[in-house]
Each structure stands twice: as structure tokens, then as C-alpha cells.
Amino acid sequence: MSDHLTTYWKLHKVPILLVAISLAFYGVFAHQLQRTDFVKLLTLFAALFFLCFKLIQFEKWNFKFLLVAGVLFRLVFFTAEPNLSQDYFRFIWDGELVLNLINPYLEVPNALIEQKDLIIGNARELYEGMGSLSAKHYSNYPPLNQLFFALARLLGGKGILGSVLAMRLLVLAADLGIFYFGRKLLRTLNRSPHLIFWYFLNPLVIIELTGNLHF
């Protein structure tokens, strides 16, 4: 077993180091970065795109390696609330409305928060977190998104982090579905299946979908 690991390390040492560095940078995105720190944000994005390019260059035919790397990059965000966007507060709010059979297209948070008998869990925290701009408008998210919000709230329980985790699981499942069917589509089009990794390892996709929950 140790000989096998040693051989694997020798053959894939550089890509493994690239993955480790990428994980560290994604960790900064997930747990430390403030959206007002533009220079740091831009630098990290540039570094991650470079690392993505080098990973695919080194291991583009190594299906399992790149698949595992893409999943690991997404898992980094699973223990953190989004720190580059506050939209997820509105997602959870809308999901709670749908579960309570309240139409999010007919009720604005500013009006609902004044109701004494409001049955939304964590209502005040969600209301303050979404910001004044979102709070004064009806929901603009399509019905399919509303179903995902409600499902995430149902699976995640009443806690905000639980709902965020549930949404990320749904996004990860969707990304794996895109990966699976994307490879099939590429084969149908007589294109190389490894091209799907330009999506699956794309830092913008990982950070915006899994990290910021913009879907």
C-alpha cells in the first residue's frame, strides 16, 4: 500500500500540490475574504484560474483525479456562510414563506416583519441580513428556484447554516449532474469529454454557485 502511494505521489506530485494550494485559496474565499477587499479578491481569482489551467494541463486525462479535486474545492465552502453575498438570506426567507403557503410574489418582507403573528423562523435575522433593498421588494426569483429554497429550508431545519448547507448539497448534486450529462453531450458532439473540466474546475462556477449560492 505504501509503495503504491509513494509511486502515485511521484507521478502526480505537482498536481497534488496544485490542489493543496487551491484548497487553501478557496479556504480564504470561504472563511476570511471580505467583499470590500477588491485587490485580494482579484488576486485570488487570478491565482485560482491559473491553478485551474495548470491542473487541467497536467491531468486532463485523469478523470478520477480532476473529479475528486472539483468536489473537494466545493466542500471547502460547506462549513461557512456566504461572505461575498447576502442574497442567501432572501433565499431562506422565500423558502420559509413557501413552506408556510405564503406567496413570495405577493408579500414584501417590510410588511411581513411588522406582523405580530409572523411564523417565519429566524425572521428578524433573515430580514436584517437580506438588506433594505431586498426587504422592500417582492421576490424576483423564479418558481423553480422557490422550490429549491423551500426544499433547502425543509432539509436544513430552522437554522440558517443548516439551510445554507442544504442549498449547497443541492447545488453540488446539480453540478455533478451537469458533469455527467455534459460528458455525454460532448461525446455525442464528437468532442473530447475532458472539456467538461473547464466547467467543473472553473473558479467562477465554484465560488458563485457553491460559495455564494447564486443559482
Write out pLDDT tens, residues 2-13.
667 777 777 778
Task: State how far the Cα of 104 lies from the Cα of 108, in Å rounded to an integer.
Answer: 7
pTM of the predicted model, to two decimals? 0.91
* Residue 99 and residue 144 in one domain: yes
Average pLDDT along the chain: 93
Rounded to whole angstroms, how far apart are CA atoms 84 and 176?
24
Per-residue pLDDT at 1: 55
Phi, psi of 104 (to 5 degrees): -70, -10
Domains identified in the chain, total number: 2
Angstrom distance (rounded) from CA 8 to CA 89: 44
Contacts of 81 (CB under 8 A, 6+ apart): 88, 160, 161, 164
For the record, the C-alpha cell of 176 comes out as 455533478
**In 32-142, where does DSSP find H-type helix?**
38-59, 63-75, 87-99, 109-112, 123-130, 132-135
* Range(s) of the domain holding residue 60: 2-83+192-211
Q: What confidence tens digit (pLDDT) does each residue in 202-211 have?
A: 999 999 999 9
Average pLDDT of the residues in 136-143: 96
User: How far does the chain reach from its first CA to its final CA, in angstroms?
Assistant: 42
On whether residue 183 sits in a domain, the answer given is no
Residue 178 lies inside a defined structural domain of this protein: no
Residue type, 130: M
Q: Write out the three cell numbers for 97.
A: 414563506
Radius of gyration of the chain (CA): 20
Query: For residue 61, is it within any domain?
Result: yes
Residues 7 and 23 in one domain: yes
76 and 117 belong to one structural domain: no
Same domain for 30 and 45, yes or no, is yes
